[in-house]
Amino acid sequence: MKIHHLVLVLTPLVGTQLLGATLPEFTGQWVQGGPFTTDGLKGKAVVLYFYEEGCPTCRGKWPGIMSMTKQFENEPVQFIAVNSGNAKSAVNTYVSSVKCDWPAYVDLDRSYEKNFGFEISLQNIYQTIYVDASGSTRGGSLTEESVKRAVSTASWKIPPAEIPEPLKKAWRALEFGQTATAAPLVKQALKSSDAKVKEAAGKLEAVIQADISKRLTDAKADNDAGKKWDAYKGYAFVAESYKDFAESKPAVAEIGKLRSDKVVARELQAKGMLDKCIEWSNSPKNNEREQGKAGLTSLAANFADTEAGATAKTMSK
């Protein structure tokens, strides 16, 4: 089984290649957390750690890694273990066996790994990638000093000291862009009989309301400018992530109008095909993985004018 960890660090081996590059979007599956998006992680530091699970000495490194990174649990940084070339079940078994409690990203077809110009193997047993608050990446080694350097670029929307324990899950999810997880928890906490919980929920609600307002404004601007697909995506994010809040209702209405636009309809068709190809590509069955690869090639050729077609082209390289 092969697992890679990606960590926000400056690595001599890949530093030149990664300097200033943008963190690629995650299109695979997750274990122990996630999903995360590049947009949701902006403003925070990210540490991606790629590792070789077949390395006989690597297992022994995990206790030290967990111990070192534990000191950052209240800092605005997300550690992510990245595995390439293995099924979700195998990744889950490995991270459990080494007692790694980070979210683990399953890069089954190695498309994510390829973005960074390396392949993890017994000849290249681990790599670390550091992502700063702007989303720029650098390679490096997994050290306390390098993590601190990445963390220095990041910040919280609301300091953790202002959040009572019952709301920590919602708060952290919101801070790291997992809005669909955070929103219902915040909505529920607004009705709490605990004054401190209710007060903190109000602060989180303010962050949510500000985000909804900005996204609706941006989506309207895109729509007015003729950028129908960008507008659709903006409204769709609000409608899906904040469905527990009444303020999302205008987004639902706008989505209905935009679906009839030819550009949007074609983008949605391509996106549906891409989602299916990704599902096949992440399958433990060889025949479905081959279908996924063939589908990506076809999508890239026949829908080159769409966002999904461009993604398929990158993934099929």
- Reading the chain (317 residues) residue by residue, the pLDDT tens digits are 444 443 433 333 444 344 457 888 898 889 999 899 999 999 999 999 998 888 888 888 999 999 999 999 999 999 999 998 888 888 999 999 999 999 999 988 788 888 888 888 776 778 899 999 988 899 988 999 999 999 999 999 999 999 999 999 999 999 999 998 999 999 999 999 999 999 999 999 999 999 999 999 999 999 999 999 999 999 999 999 999 899 899 999 999 999 999 999 999 999 999 999 988 877 778 899 899 989 999 999 999 999 999 988 877 76
CB neighbourhood size of 251 (10 A): 23
Query: What domain count does the chain have?
Result: 3
CA dihedral 82, 88, 89, 91 (to 10 degrees): -10
Using the 3D structure, point to which of 103, 123, 151 is the last residue of a domain.
151
Provide the 3-class DSSP secondary structure of residue 57: coil
Can you name the residues that pair with 172 across neighbouring β-strands? none
pLDDT for 96 equals 95
Q: Are residues 143 and 166 in the same domain?
A: no
pTM score: 0.79
DSSP labels, 181-204: HHHHHHHHHTT-S-HHHHHHHHHH
Domain final residue, candidates 103, 125, 151: 151
pLDDT value, residue 115: 84
- Residue 104 near residue 91 (C-beta atoms within 8 A): yes
Is 193 found in the same domain as 134? Answer: no
| Domain extent at residue 309 | 263-315
Same structural domain for residues 129 and 62? yes
Q: Mark whether 126 and 182 lie in a shared domain.
A: no
List helix spans (H) across the chain. Answer: 15-18, 38-41, 62-70, 88-97, 111-114, 144-151, 168-175, 179-189, 195-224, 228-241, 249-258, 262-281, 286-302, 307-315
Which of 151, 175, 210 terminates a domain? The answer is: 151
Distance between CA atoms of 120 and 127, rounded to whole angstroms? 8
Shared domain for 43 and 65, answered yes or no, is yes
Same-domain pairing of 295 and 256 = no
pLDDT at 85: 85
The neighbour count for residue 275, using CB atoms within 10 Å, is 12
Question: Token match 């290649």: residue?
Answer: 17
Are residues 241 and 268 both part of a single domain?
A: no
In a shared domain, residues 138 and 245: no
Q: 245 — phi, psi (to 5°)?
A: -110, 135
If asked whether residues 117 and 230 sit together in one domain, one would say no
User: 69 Cβ partners below 8 Å, 6+ apart?
Assistant: 47, 79, 147
Q: Is 39 exposed, middle or buried (0-12, 13-18, 19+ CB in 10 A)?
A: exposed
The per-residue pLDDT for 283 is 79
Contact yes or no for 48/167 (Cβ under 8 A):
no
Q: Are residues 85 and 42 in the same domain?
A: yes
271 φ, ψ (degrees, to nearest 5): -65, -40
142 and 179 belong to one structural domain = no
30 with 100, same domain? yes
